[in-house]
Structure 1
Amino acid sequence: MTTNEKTLTGTPNDWWDQAERITEAEAAERVLGTWYITSETRPSGASSYRVSTPTLASNEPRKAALRDAIAYGKKRESDMSAKVRVLMRVPIERPAWMDVDFLIADIEIGSTERSLWRKTNAGNWQLVLDGRVRVGEKTMLQLNPAIANITEESTA
């Protein structure tokens, strides 16, 4: 499929056959805006496909699993993935706030109260004033994020 195609035709088997083969490294660290098709086997033994788009947070467990498989000699980054292919690429512009450590954003959707949020190691956002509150990228987008510039001022 080309990067401009947005309509899938045929059966999921056709989609799989037409999808672009990628390496294990590319399957582990997926690109935002790209649609992936994954070949799965159900507990009953039936084959199926899953179509999905990634988030940065969803890349972390995949990258960790690949590191483990490499450490045990089961895979190499350059191996072609047997289970994941690129279905279509949809270029998106990544907002700058997604790559910073701190944001000022609404406390909850629809709120006018704003607070400081920090990025976690898992790629989610945690409310600094209440560490129990965490949100993903999609929710953060609805919280009107703004990049926080934190400086320390000396009083001496």
Structure 2
Amino acid sequence: MAQRKRATPKQIELTERRAAALELRKQGGSYREIAETMRNEGKAPETYDYTLAWKDVTDELRRLNEENGASVEEMRQLQLEQLNALWTKQYDLALEGDGWALDRCLAIQGRIGALFGLNAPVKTENKNELTGPNGQPLQTGSQVTIYIPNNGRGDNHPPAV
């Protein structure tokens, strides 16, 4: 059986420094401000600059993403097992002619498809109608109307172009 490595004090200090840098970034600090704060609070050496602050923040974000990715996969697996158990019970009833159970089977299969990104994207159509200031629908064609006030000809509404 493989033995776990123990964290050294230096590794613990690095992990804490990265977490502190990320926290300062979440509060809106620039990398230069993070470096200065970390140095002033004694959380980083005097040689700590904005490039190391950036590296600490990105390394901590990467670690969190990997950690969360593993927990997401575990949750997906748990949900899949639960959905499979439900589907098996409903499937037996659906084979006996139960219409409601058939509907549940299809819903469960849809949920499994969504869980793993198997469903095709749904095409949506924008049904918003553009209206003018008077509430009337705007024309969407190649016709352009130009309004020139007091053009000197007595004709304030030229024909559409």
Task: Return the TM-score normalized by structure 1.
Answer: 0.18
Task: Return the TM-score normalized by structure 2.
Answer: 0.17
Larger radius of gyration: 2
Q: Which structure shows the bigger proportion of residues in helix conformation?
A: 2
